[in-house]
Structure 1
């Protein structure tokens, strides 16, 4: 009687608890996430082919060979069975081979750096289709999205047309984060001074949740945004609304935006400073600061010796006072090399033979 009463009490409670679970990972709206879901399901089923029989047989053996069952066959001298050995070893081996083959194929097919080959099952990407390019910057604690082909940017709001490939370029301003839209595709890390990529597509219109899947500090819990899947017509209207409202995101404006803040509201910027994402990636948004790519070129040519050591210390990108205060100028201090430049032509060239002969005469 008691178990039945407990079931009646627990079932409504369980239903209430489960009502908050949308299980979006198992019901995605993007083809990449759908393929990843299918891989999870197939791998789970393959592993259950071993786990379920083992659990069932464990219970059956414990019950059948219990002490009170005098009818159970007792053979203390048994030590080997060729048929049983074949079953024990061949079944897991075949499952491991199948899992390995599936993983190898999916690793290459679902490589986030690989451009999409299809929009959905039996629906290849039309020839000549241009992907929607979105540059993603993980800030403390908000998301900046730059649309380079449209020349605008948004904060904590991302939109894309249905059945159009999306090419994400992802970086971070300070610490490592993780860009994740469960309905669209798997998560991928965002790291400062590095760029990761993600190719995906949304197949159904709707409003989906995006967030950071990697702890990054005090405001991590509220580092969320909305991803809007729209028809092409609705996406065009959204683009017009963004470009018609909001100001310009300048380099100084970005430095102010990059300061740590929590629960940042959605913002639209109708214009973006030229090459802002490239400046963020190369850690040189602050005016007068040497870009990472230029440092790397200098290092590739052998460096600047001891003078370069002082310059590196002077241009440290993650100096907290400079970053958090958003100051435009780099910290003052002793610098051995103030600037580098390239001449339009060679500094010296030998005189032509005719001129040399004339000079000799």
Structure 2
């Protein structure tokens, strides 16, 4: 059975800019939408949600026409969950009340609240007032409220923009876990590669007014939790990482790396502050343009993709089949 598709073929002028969005987005997992500020990311999300009527063209959710020359489906009929940059929680309600509000109005299945609450670890917050929550807790509740409606698509518009890097790293696994638990496809807007590298299954970009087709985001390393003396550590291909997790020895996990923090070296760097340091093979080197090259690196049954400057690739004389060392200083443990 083929994966359903969100078909986009719209154009819109806004201010002195023009956006042309033509792409087929798989309705599974998380698709990241990247682009500089003012490129039209929020405009595209609002058009998908039915909150913008000024775009020309068509939007289809599977076989259902949401927008065409002769048809425009109202936002409430599209069953979309929307998480904004600001949480927009109801301050007169506690956490349980915020979750129940959308759930009841949408007529969602009874078990959805329990699934969402468990995935986002909201059980201990249900009777807390909104103004007593931290910024990260508010974002988890906002995400939970959107998913409690049992939407058929989740849109997240830079939901972590007001948080520091530590809080972002803490919340990203919750987002991934909630999307998995509810099986709700999501489009996640960010201009920060770190977030999309940790979270996305695929990435599409807005550049010079054009939306690119989604490209798979390959930033995952398979890891096994192994006993080291009295401690536990995650190993990738037999090499110890600087990451661990509270789980049983022998369990398998997934490490997502921030490819912007990846450094290649021809020799083993020895002791370093890198969270991940291991030998890899260069599977492919492709020139993207005069400034950059795309690299595919592989290990034992896995591969990742990253972009390096053409200057670095030339200086290191990188080529297919070559063995190099991968050093990563920024990584996060994510749900498998």
Interval of TM-score (by shorter of Structure 1 and Structure 2):
under 0.3
Higher share of residues assigned helix:
1
TM-score of the superposition, structure 1-length normalised?
A: 0.25
Higher relative contact order, structure no. (Cα contacts within 8 Å, ≥ 6 residues apart): 2
Higher share of residues assigned strand:
2
TM-score of the superposition, structure 2-length normalised?
A: 0.26
Q: Report the structure number with the largest CA radius of gyration.
A: 1
